[in-house]
């Protein structure tokens, strides 16, 4: 199928991905899981989860292989790769206009909403991030990598966790500090908010501004809004467009930023559902209001700079509760 694993598409903590072709001529991506996957649990999770999902914004599982300790998952091939390449690569980022970026954000939200309430069971992904959003030939986004997913009844408000799971920079605070609140689908809402922040480029902009580089990330955004200042990013792109295009772009940036601020509220109860997130994204930005400033925000995560930084390469294996006990966090 892969002609001896000739064309490697990428690599992660799970193993490697290779391009393949079925006998029918259909292109596929073959995810070969490494030996590090504990007792094949990630493999079982992914088959059990994604095998029951059929949605335009979720990657399609074509099949799987299992021979002794060797495990592989076979998916539809996504020719435009992951969203991460279009966020962290300046050259590729310029190939997506703001209308397309916004369309991708809305469709990712639709995919997450389907996982939460569109199936006969609730699916919590726990690893929403740009790397796990794949783009097909028409840039339709597909949520992928369900190795950390958890299935639970739609009627359940919270789930029991023996260890935190996710990627640092996108993982919800309640997964690290149990005193913040119970773990639920709101963890995915938080991760989506951080995804929006990366799509808009706010965290990157803050790190590039020497005057504000030490400021707690959401504080910087609230300061801009409270002072009536536009959040200016990608100035070169703005100068190249006409006035109507610039106003449209500012409106989309403003809307995505407000929605992101709602999603990354510290307390899970203060975050909207994905259904509400979609309503906000599809509403007129004039009808949206900024959430109240969370007074406890700067004290919850402990180390602010490390907790809120969202570099693609960030990883950590052990984090600590405020009471001194520790929790293992799985990094995808």
Catalytic residue numbers, as ranges: 127
Q: Nearest to residue 171, comparing CAs of 216, 114, 122, 128?
A: 128
* DSSP assigned state of 102: H
**Pairing mode, strands 27-33 and 15-21:** antiparallel
Of 142, 126, 125, which is closest to residue 134 (Cα–Cα)? 142
**DSSP letter at 177?**
-
The β-bridge partners of 319 are 327
In the chain, what are the helix, strand and coil shares in percent, each to the nearest 5? 40, 20, 40
Rounded to whole angstroms, the Cα distance separating 247 from 195 reads 23
Query: CA-CA distance, 214 to 202, in Å (whole number)?
Result: 14
Indicate the burial class of 143 (C-beta count within 10 angstroms; 0-12, 13-18, 19 or more): buried
Tokens of 244: 């109507």
Torsion over CA: 263, 267, 268, 271 (sign): negative
Q: Classify residue 123 by its DSSP letter.
A: E
Q: Give the separation between CA 57 and CA 95, rounded to whole angstroms.
A: 21
Residue 170: φ, ψ to 5°: -120, -15
- Nearest partner of 169 among 141, 207, 139, judged by Cα: 207
Residue 70 vs residues 3, 13, 232, 247, 254: alpha-carbon distances, Å: 17, 16, 49, 53, 47
């Amino acid at each position: 199928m892969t002609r001896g694993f000739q064309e490697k598409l990428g690599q992660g903590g799970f193993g490697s991905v290779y391009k393949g072709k079925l006998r029918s001529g259909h292109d596929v991506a073959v995810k070969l899981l490494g030996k590090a996957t504990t007792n094949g649990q990630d493999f079982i999770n992914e088959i059990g989860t994604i095998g029951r999902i059929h949605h335009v914004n979720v990657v399609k599982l074509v099949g799987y292989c299992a021979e002794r300790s060797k495990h592989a998952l076979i998916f539809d091939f996504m020719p435009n790769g992951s969203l991460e390449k279009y966020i962290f690569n300046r050259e590729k980022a310029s190939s997506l206009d703001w209308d397309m970026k916004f369309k991708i954000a809305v469709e990712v939200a639709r995919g997450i909403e389907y996982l939460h309430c569109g199936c006969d069971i609730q699916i919590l992904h726990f690893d929403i991030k740009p790397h796990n959003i794949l783009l097909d030939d028409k840039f339709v986004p597909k949520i992928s990598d369900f190795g950390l997913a958890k299935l639970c009844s739609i009627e359940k408000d919270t789930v029991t966790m023996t260890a935190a799971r996710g990627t640092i920079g996108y993982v919800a605070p309640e997964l690290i500090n149990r005193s913040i609140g119970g773990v639920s689908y709101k963890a995915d809402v938080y991760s989506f908010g951080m995804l929006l922040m990366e799509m808009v480029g706010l965290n990157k902009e803050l790190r590039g501004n020497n005057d504000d580089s030490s400021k707690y990330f959401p504080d910087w955004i609230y300061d801009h809004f409270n002072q009536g200042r536009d959040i200016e990013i990608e100035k070169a792109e703005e100068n190249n467009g006409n006035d109507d295009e610039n106003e449209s772009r500012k409106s989309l940036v403003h809307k995505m930023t407000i929605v992101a601020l709602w999603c990354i509220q510290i307390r899970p109860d203060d975050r909207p559902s994905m259904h509400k997130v979609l309503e906000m994204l599809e509403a007129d930005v004039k009808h949206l209001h900024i959430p109240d400033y969370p007074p406890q925000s700067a004290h919850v995560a402990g180390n602010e700079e490390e907790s809120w930084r969202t570099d693609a390469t960030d990883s950590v294996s052990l984090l600590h509760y405020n009471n001194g006990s520790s929790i293992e966090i799985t990094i995808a």
